[in-house]
Amino acid sequence: MTKRHKDKTSSDKTSSRRNFLKVAAAGAAATVATPALAQTGPTNMRFQSTWPAKDIFHEYAQDYAKKVNDMTGGDLKIEVLPAGAVVPAFQLLEAVSKGTLDGGHGVLAYHYGKQNALALWGSGPGYAMDANMLLAWHKYGGGKQLLEKLYNSIGANVVSFPYGPMPTQPLGWFKKPVTKADDLKGVKFRTVGISIDVFTGMGAAVNALPGGEIVSAMDRGLLDAAEFNNASSDRVLGFPDVSKVCMLQSYHQNAEQFEIMFNKDKYNALPAKIRAILDNAAEAAGQDMAWKAIDRYSRDYEEMQSKDKVKFYKTPDSVLQKQLEIFDQVAEKKSAENPLFKEIVESQLAFAKRATQWEQDTVVSRRLAYNHYFGPNAKKKT
């Protein structure tokens, strides 16, 4: 080996040694830095739902929190408290906006008193859309931008994620079956959102109450009838204890969904990766909720008939038609008073006309198949 080659080899070894030392030093620095980052700990957020702890709706709120907690690997931890733990159910928007709570779980119709157009996310017939289609309008038809505009109009410092499509809600629980629209006249009735105006227009004396207060009000005679949401919630809240008549199908809340809400400042302060998880977790939780609802609601619907001896009746078409007529009157009046209300109605109508025509023309009616397999003339299947 020549002297020149030896010198080059020695130089290469020295260079490699220096590179290794640089890498090692960097690794050592990272090792030192990592515990320092870990010591900062996870970000904790305190949520409140607008539901009693025993209600399946509160369970849905906890399901969302668990998805976030799992997906972030514990870097963000959401704790969900039940209605009333910090503020009353109808004060959730103010509490989140002010930062008293970091976030919350509820429905947009509960903010009706702050800006009536907020109730168009689910309180009404949905212009023939179901809740899943209304969410499609929200994400792809301009609803998201309109909701941000609405919240800005009232100075609400929040970020909102509508999610979780609900099945059509019952007309409600009554002392006797409703056979015509006039049966609602003079009835002391509980509902929320634009439905307040619809049922008032049908002659009912309406009182808006949170879910946890309805059954006790019926038991004390403060209400003659009420609606809440679904078989599982209605059963666990005790509706079968105060009424044995439930009217199914209604247009007053045909296309409602839940809302996950964050304080905007606290949301914006989170890393982009965490914000993306919060957004995508809402969609994942929404689909999971829809599947869980099918399983749980159908079980409780069956057991309310077999165990609780509840009688279910279909709301007559004449009552449903009257709801649509009254809703149109209410929407026209509020559109004249509130430009944002009008803008949202026009946006929903445009999307619904296209989407519902596609649905009506494309999706086969399942009633024929149901009758074939389970109807009175169906052959017994082994």
Binding residues for Na(+): 228
| Contacts (Cβ under 8 Å, ≥6 apart) of 220 | none
Nearest of 218, 258, 251, 220 to residue 234 by alpha carbon: 218
Contact (CB, 8 A) for 42 and 71? no
CA distances from 161 to 43, 238, 281, 350 (A): 20, 30, 10, 22
Count of beta carbons in the 10 Å neighbourhood of residue 299? 13
Contact (CB, 8 A) for 159 and 262? yes
Distance of CA 192 to the CA centre of its chain: 15
Known binding-site residue numbers for substrate: 169, 190, 227, 253
In the sheet where 205-207 sits, what is the strand order? 205-207, 188-190, 225-226, 172-174, 245-248, 311-314
List of long-range contacts for 350-353, beta carbons under 8 Å, 24+ apart = 350/141, 351/129, 351/136, 351/137, 351/141, 351/142, 352/126, 352/127, 352/128, 352/129, 352/133, 352/137, 353/127
Q: Which residues pair with 258 in a beta bridge?
A: 163
Phi then psi for 74, rounded to 5 degrees? 90, 0
Known binding-site residue numbers: 169, 190, 227-228, 253
Secondary structure element (H or E) that encloses residue 206, with its range? strand 205-207
Q: CA 106 to CA 287: how far, in whole Å?
A: 17
Nearest of 211, 293, 193, 201 to residue 253 by alpha carbon: 193
Contact (CB, 8 A) for 275 and 267? yes
CA distances from 207 to 93, 115, 343 (A): 20, 18, 28
